[in-house]
């Protein structure tokens, strides 16, 4: 059987020194095989001087294209994912998925890590494939390759260090052409362990914050518009209490009476601000919230309108709270709205006399009294609208109240005076107290709700303006008088006893006339006035057809936590290892394809690839000794291309295997013969 024609005859592999010259294949002259590591060795003593036939370059194979697609996907998908999440400022997971993740954190970690490990394996496999393809084309299309180059390529493929573990082993790398491949190899070896972490940081769902602006409306007590003032005047607060309904909320349309518990809570909340590190919250149950409004500290005269405020007055514009699917996915949230409230300052002192005029309502029994005071005789103006006198139970512990507006040059000013007197057993404990309330004006308070603690807190006022409709202040002072008189019973007065309880339990001071109790009465009066302002706002909010000039915009923000994917600028650094490895694989494969495309110095597919092995190789290079003596034959893609294009069509069935075996046998016989001859000479 005749062999098919080849462009080159199969010859033995050759280890070539740089100054070697090729010899004829059948030249019987021999050169001894030398064992010294500093001398060159050959697997044969003869070389064949053959005509090198350049062949036409080939395009990328199907495997190359598939590898390109795989590498491209691995290179760009992390950045696409990063860009989408960045543009959307986070992607919230499905509520059901979020629940599963929250309830099974360990299983979630396991599967995310498994997915990232698989991705890392794919990236590693594609990288190794690219290095192999580059090495095949480099050795095939370029002149004899040095052992150092092969060592570098193998090290890149397996991500290991081939030059020993000691510093002296790397001495051979301190040359101009060798140090930079070593540096690149170090970068490669150090980068691979980060692949799993790189993708895990990107794919692991975690809680993240979102911030959205909130807007709403509420009544503006500082409005000076004439139509607004006229609307307030046309809708006075009734002195006749009765239950009403508004948007599903039940309330009483007057001040005092059933708000007694809330009012005392407001006073207590204001006193609690004197207690260091107070953590006690208060509940206001009469303002229309389903489970009450919980405040840490004073209510400041605000009426919360947000999702956790009073539902009947929730005027928020569409927001995340308007979407049930978003609310269901919130693990926690807090929002701040800038509400309008009351800013006041109360300062009290003791007086020697009392301004009150008393009249018994049941002569002979002294069980009830009626009292008032003349503001004109006190140098002020009447401020308690439609209240000629207060009526109260009379007991051994009685507290009475009156209020007037200050006058300057015959004109009422925004300053008010409150008079308190303790009768009978309260006389030595309370005495006569005169308090000045100045100013009383509308102020904007940032009010924050925290879902984890389910409480409202108020910060200090940011801006303030006078209350244009002065009747609001009059109503608040009337409400304060109603609370004091309605809190009076035959045993004690609830307002006074609340003050005494704080003095004894929180400060350890028995009821008496001193500066501490003056301060406690100041806080109590201020807290009650703030609550009355809140309830006045509630009552007017139920009145329909308020002019636009009577409303103000409530602005704020909500920060809520959801489960999903979120990225920051730090993730850019986390993605660099993945980008380096995939980028290097892409470049290596691209170079391999370009080398194959350009053609050029192509060796016979059966011809073993020459390896340059010179006397100047340092021992530190750790060139495997078997490279000196051993030649292996392994068909590459170049052989496959050559066989398919030039051999396959020229032989009959069954000859293909024979042709391959014949070529391999020629190589093996020639190597064996040369080695045997070398040994005989030695």
Classify residue 375: in a domain, yes or no.
yes
Classify residue 553: in a domain, yes or no.
no
Classify residue 6: in a domain, yes or no.
no
Domain that holds residue 646: 15-205+566-681
User: If you search the block for the tokens 């308690």, which residue do you land on?
Assistant: 384
| pLDDT, position 617 | 54
- Of 542, 575, 598, the one marking the end of a domain is 542
More confident residue, 462 or 290: 462
Whether residue 376 contacts residue 253, with contact meaning beta carbons closer than 8 Å, is answered with: no
CA pair distance 643, 194, nearest whole angstrom? 42
For residue 87, pLDDT beyond 50: yes
Q: How many domains does the chain have?
A: 2
Percentage, residues of the chain above pLDDT 90: 49
| pLDDT, position 508 | 92
Classify residue 425: in a domain, yes or no.
yes
How is residue 646 written in tokens? 């030039």
| pLDDT tens, position by position, 627-643 | 444 444 444 444 455 55
Whether residue 113 contacts residue 200, with contact meaning beta carbons closer than 8 Å, is answered with: yes
Percentage, residues of the chain above pLDDT 70: 75
H/E stretch holding 412: strand 411-424
| pLDDT (average), residues 535-554 | 94
| pLDDT, position 547 | 95
User: If you search the block for the tokens 């909340």, which residue do you land on?
Assistant: 269
Alpha-helix residue ranges (DSSP H) falling in 142-220 = 147-158, 179-191, 195-203
For residue 670, pLDDT beyond 50: no
CA pair distance 352, 434, nearest whole angstrom? 10
Nearest Cα neighbor of 337 from 562, 559, 547, 89 is: 559
CA pair distance 464, 222, nearest whole angstrom? 9
Burial of 299 (0-12, 13-18, 19+ CB in 10 A): buried
DSSP 96-159: HHHHHHHH-HHHHHHHHHHHHHHHHHHHHHHHHHHHHHHHHHHHHHSS-B-HHHHHHHHHHHHT
Whether residue 341 contacts residue 533, with contact meaning beta carbons closer than 8 Å, is answered with: yes
Classify residue 429: in a domain, yes or no.
yes
Based on the domain organization, do 298 and 191 belong to the same domain?
Answer: no
For residue 13, pLDDT beyond 80: no
| pLDDT tens, position by position, 350-388 | 999 999 999 998 887 788 999 999 999 999 999 998 899
Based on the domain organization, do 160 and 252 belong to the same domain?
Answer: no
Based on the domain organization, do 40 and 189 belong to the same domain?
Answer: yes
Whether residue 25 contacts residue 48, with contact meaning beta carbons closer than 8 Å, is answered with: yes
Based on the domain organization, do 532 and 571 belong to the same domain?
Answer: no
Report the number of secondary-structure helices (H) and strands (E) in the chain.
16, 19
- Look at 23-32, 194-203, 444-453 and tell me which has the smallest mean pLDDT: 23-32
CA pair distance 470, 486, nearest whole angstrom? 25
For residue 676, pLDDT beyond 60: no
Nearest Cα neighbor of 320 from 205, 210, 428, 410 is: 210
DSSP 8-state secondary structure symbol assigned to residue 361: S
Classify residue 106: in a domain, yes or no.
yes
Nearest Cα neighbor of 127 from 88, 157, 166 is: 157
| pLDDT tens, position by position, 514-540 | 999 999 999 999 999 999 999 999 999
Mean pLDDT estimate for the chain: 80
Based on the domain organization, do 576 and 495 belong to the same domain?
Answer: no
Quote the Cα angle for 615-621-624, to 5°: 90
Q: Report residue 381: phi and psi, to 5°.
A: -125, 150
Question: Could you give the C-alpha distances from 129 to 124, 125, 635, in angstroms and in order?
Answer: 9, 6, 16
3-state secondary structure of 316: coil
Based on the domain organization, do 299 and 188 belong to the same domain?
Answer: no
- Look at 155-159, 189-193, 495-499, 665-669 and tell me which has the smallest mean pLDDT: 665-669
Q: Which residue spans within 34-107 are E strands per DSSP?
A: 91-92
Burial of 148 (0-12, 13-18, 19+ CB in 10 A): buried
Based on the domain organization, do 37 and 179 belong to the same domain?
Answer: yes
More confident residue, 259 or 619: 259
Q: Rounded to two decimals, what is the model's pTM?
A: 0.71
DSSP 8-state secondary structure symbol assigned to residue 323: -
For residue 346, pLDDT beyond 90: yes
Based on the domain organization, do 180 and 39 belong to the same domain?
Answer: yes
CA pair distance 549, 564, nearest whole angstrom? 43
- Of 509, 542, 575, the one marking the end of a domain is 542
More confident residue, 98 or 181: 98
Question: Could you give the C-alpha distances from 54 to 177, 488, 525, 599, in angstroms and in order?
Answer: 29, 115, 104, 7
> C-alpha 512: how far from its chain's center?
55
Based on the domain organization, do 585 and 507 belong to the same domain?
Answer: no
For residue 297, pLDDT beyond 70: yes
CA pair distance 472, 405, nearest whole angstrom? 13
More confident residue, 70 or 600: 70
pLDDT band at 145 (very low <50, low <70, confident <90, very high): low
CA pair distance 337, 332, nearest whole angstrom? 17
Based on the domain organization, do 276 and 425 belong to the same domain?
Answer: yes
- Look at 30-34, 206-210, 404-408, 531-535 and tell me which has the smallest mean pLDDT: 30-34
CB atoms within 10 A of CB 660: 16
Based on the domain organization, do 127 and 241 belong to the same domain?
Answer: no
Burial of 549 (0-12, 13-18, 19+ CB in 10 A): middle
For residue 451, pLDDT beyond 60: yes
Classify residue 224: in a domain, yes or no.
no
DSSP 441-504: EEEEEEEEEETTTTEEEE---S-EEE-SSTHHHHHHHHHHHHHHHHTB-SS-BHHHHHHHHHHH
Nearest Cα neighbor of 198 from 124, 132, 130 is: 124
CA pair distance 177, 426, nearest whole angstrom? 101
How is residue 303 written in tokens? 């009426």
CB atoms within 10 A of CB 454: 11
Classify residue 548: in a domain, yes or no.
no
| pLDDT (average), residues 309-329 | 91
Nearest Cα neighbor of 419 from 337, 346, 335 is: 346
Based on the domain organization, do 191 and 246 belong to the same domain?
Answer: no
For residue 179, pLDDT beyond 60: yes
- Look at 231-240, 266-275, 437-446, 641-650 and tell me which has the smallest mean pLDDT: 641-650
């Amino acid at each position: 059987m005749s062999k098919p024609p080849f462009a080159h005859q199969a010859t033995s592999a050759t280890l070539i020194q740089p100054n070697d010259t090729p010899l004829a294949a059948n030249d019987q002259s021999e050169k001894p095989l030398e064992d010294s590591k500093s001398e060159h060795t050959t697997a044969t003593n003869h070389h064949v001087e053959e005509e090198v036939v350049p062949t036409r370059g080939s395009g990328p194979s199907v495997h190359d294209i598939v590898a390109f697609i795989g590498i491209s996907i691995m290179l760009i998908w992390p950045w696409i994912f990063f860009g989408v999440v960045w543009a959307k400022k986070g992607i919230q997971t499905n509520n059901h998925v979020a629940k599963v993740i929250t309830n099974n954190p360990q299983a979630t970690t396991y599967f995310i890590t498994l997915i990232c490990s698989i991705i890392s394996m794919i990236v590693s496999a594609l990288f190794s494939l690219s290095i192999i393809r580059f090495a095949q084309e480099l050795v095939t299309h370029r002149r004899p390759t040095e052992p150092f180059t092969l060592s570098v390529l193998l090290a890149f493929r397996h991500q290991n260090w081939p030059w020993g573990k000691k510093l002296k082993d790397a001495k051979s790398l301190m040359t101009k052409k060798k140090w930079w491949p070593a540096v690149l190899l170090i970068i490669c070896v150090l980068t691979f362990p980060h692949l799993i972490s790189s993708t895990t940081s990107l794919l692991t769902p975690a809680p993240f914050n979102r911030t959205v602006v909130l807007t709403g409306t509420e009544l503006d007590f500082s409005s000076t518009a004439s139509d607004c003032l006229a609307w307030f005047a046309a809708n006075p607060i009734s002195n006749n209490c009765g239950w009403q309904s508004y948007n599903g909320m039940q309330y009483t349309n007057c001040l005092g009476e059933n708000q007694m518990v809330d009012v005392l809570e407001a006073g207590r909340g204001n006193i609690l601000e004197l207690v260091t590190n107070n953590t006690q919250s208060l509940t206001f149950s009469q303002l229309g919230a389903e489970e009450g409004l919980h405040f840490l500290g004073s209510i400041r005269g605000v009426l919360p309108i947000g999702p956790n405020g009073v539902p009947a007055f929730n005027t928020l514009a569409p927001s995340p709270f308007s979407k049930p699917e978003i609310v269901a996915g919130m693990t926690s949230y807090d929002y701040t709205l800038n509400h309008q409230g009351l800013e006041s300052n109360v300062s009290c002192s003791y007086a020697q006399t009392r301004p009150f005029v008393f009249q018994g309502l049941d002569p002979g029994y002294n069980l009830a009294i009626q009292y008032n005071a003349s503001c004109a005789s006190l140098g002020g103006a009447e401020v308690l609208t439609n209240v000629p006198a207060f009526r109260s139970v009379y007991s051994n512990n009685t507290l009475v109240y009156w209020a007037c507006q200050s006058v300057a040059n015959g004109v009422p000013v925004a300053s008010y005076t409150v008079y308190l007197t303790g009768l009978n057993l309260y006389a030595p404990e309370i005495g006569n107290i005169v308090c000045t309330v100045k100013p009383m004006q509308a102020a904007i308070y940032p009010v924050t709700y925290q879902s984890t603690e389910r409480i409202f807190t108020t910060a200090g006022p940011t801006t303030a303006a006078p209350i244009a409709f002065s009747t609001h202040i009059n109503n608040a002072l009337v409400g304060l008088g109603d609370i004091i008189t309605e809190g009076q019973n035959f045993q004690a007065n609830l307002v006074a006893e609340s003050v005494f309880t704080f003095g004894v339990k929180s400060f350890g001071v028995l009821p008496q006339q001193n500066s501490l109790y003056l301060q406690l009465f100041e806080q109590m009066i201020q807290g009650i006035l703030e609550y009355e302002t809140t309830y006045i706002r509630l009552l007017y909010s139920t009145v329909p057809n308020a002019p636009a000039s009577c409303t103000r915009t409530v602005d704020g923000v909500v920060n809520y936590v959801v489960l999903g994917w979120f990225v920051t600028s730090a993730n850019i650094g986390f993605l660099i290892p993945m980008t380096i490895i995939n980028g290097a694989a892409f470049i290596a494969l691209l170079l391999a394809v370009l080398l194959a495309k350009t053609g050029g110095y192509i060796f016979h597919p059966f011809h073993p690839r020459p390896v340059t092995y010179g006397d100047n190789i340092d021992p530190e290079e750790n060139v495997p000794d078997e490279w000196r003596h051993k030649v292996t034959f392994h068909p590459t893609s170049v052989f496959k291309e050559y066989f398919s294009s030039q051999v396959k069509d020229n032989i009959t069935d069954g000859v293909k295997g024979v042709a391959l075996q014949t070529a391999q046998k020629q190589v093996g016989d020639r190597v064996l013969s040369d080695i045997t001859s070398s040994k005989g000479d030695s």
